[in-house]
Amino acid sequence: MRRTLATAAAGALAAAVALAPQASAATVQTSGSGWKLTSQIGVYAASPSTTYTITFETAAMKTRYAPYYTEALKQINAAGLHITVGGVEPVDINKCGPKNHIQVTERYRPVGTPGWSKGVPCPYQPKGLGVGGLVIYDSEYWDGSWPITQVHLKNTIPHEILHALGLDHPNTDLDKDGVIEPHECVATSYGNKPIMCSPNGGYSTSNAGKLVGYDVNGVKALIANARAQGIS
Ligand SMILES: [Ca+2]
Ligand SMILES: [Zn+2]
């Protein structure tokens, strides 16, 4: 029995090394309770001395989306990551943008699924250190073709920004039925799931749009992973 356990532990360690090949397995963490990082596409760290700037393809998009970031950005900055709302610039959705920019645009069904938006970090960075990314919101939210509640809208908009920073969906097989299901995420004693829960999560109260504690821990993990690799 004891041997079996030891073998299982060794296997888990090997998996951790495979996920973060350039990092110290002892100190880089890519998931925890209610948070997960995008290590499978090579982004799992963020430098606290970097400023990430959110830019927009058009002025109308800035007007539309920027107000939804206010509360989340306060929390992300309080957690130690610097992120700010910038201006307008061209966006090529097939390429990484300027370094440390999170570029925001809008398309009709950007991932093909009605009602789904997309948020991705610029992938495969040295030491997993994020350099910004791309967010493409589904234009259906605004023309009535995809009915979305205000709560879901308020949570979805910052959710995609957090993807671009390096946070993944923390869904996990809580009921042990062998399937990681939609909405299968840890919750607080008040029933609040991470804003990063797929397909949607976060507060359903007037706090909608704010990160839940789990998400803040994910942001802190991005910074801790940079420091663990000697990046200040
Ligand atoms: Ca399950
Ligand atoms: Zn998502």
What are the structural domains, with CATH classification, of the chain?
A: 38-228 (3.40.390.10)
Q: Output the pLDDT for position 53.
A: 98
Q: Determine the distance separating the centroid of ligand 1 and the alpha carbon of 113, expressed in angstroms.
A: 22
Question: Please, what's the b/e burial string for 20-47 (b: 16 or more CB within 10 A of its CB; e: otherwise)?
Answer: beebeeeebbbbeebbbbbbebbbbbbb
What's the pLDDT score for residue 221?
98
Q: Which two tokens stand for residue 49?
A: 């001395």
The pLDDT value recorded for residue 209 is 98
- Ligand located closest to 172 CA: 1
pLDDT of residue 144: 87
pLDDT of residue 4: 34
132-138, strands of its sheet edge to edge? 82-88, 51-56, 101-107, 132-138, 118-121
pTM of the predicted protein model:
0.88
To the nearest 5 percent, what fractions of the chain are helix, strand and coil?
35, 20, 50
Instruction: Identify the pLDDT of residue 114.
Output: 95
- Centroid of ligand 1 to alpha carbon of 38 (angstroms): 21
- Write out the chain's pLDDT in tens, 232 residues: 333 333 333 333 344 444 555 544 559 999 999 999 999 999 999 999 999 999 999 999 999 999 999 999 999 999 999 999 999 999 999 999 999 999 999 999 999 999 999 999 999 999 999 999 999 999 999 998 999 999 999 999 999 999 999 999 999 999 999 999 999 999 999 999 999 999 999 999 999 999 999 999 999 999 999 999 999 8
Task: Work out the burial of residue 77: count CB atoms within 10 Å of its CB; fewer than 13 is exposed, 13-18 middle, 19 or more buried.
Answer: middle
Task: Give the ligand whose atoms come closest to the C-alpha of residue 179.
Answer: 1
Q: State the distance from the centre of ligand 2 to the C-alpha of 160, rounded, in angstroms.
A: 6
Distance in Å, CA 183 to ligand 1 centroid = 10
Question: How much distance in Å is there from the Cα of 186 to the middle of ligand 1?
Answer: 12
Query: What's the CA-to-centroid distance between 55 and ligand 1, angstroms?
Result: 37
pLDDT of residue 22: 52
> What's the confidence (pLDDT) of residue 118?
98
Distance 12 CA to ligand 1 centre (A): 21
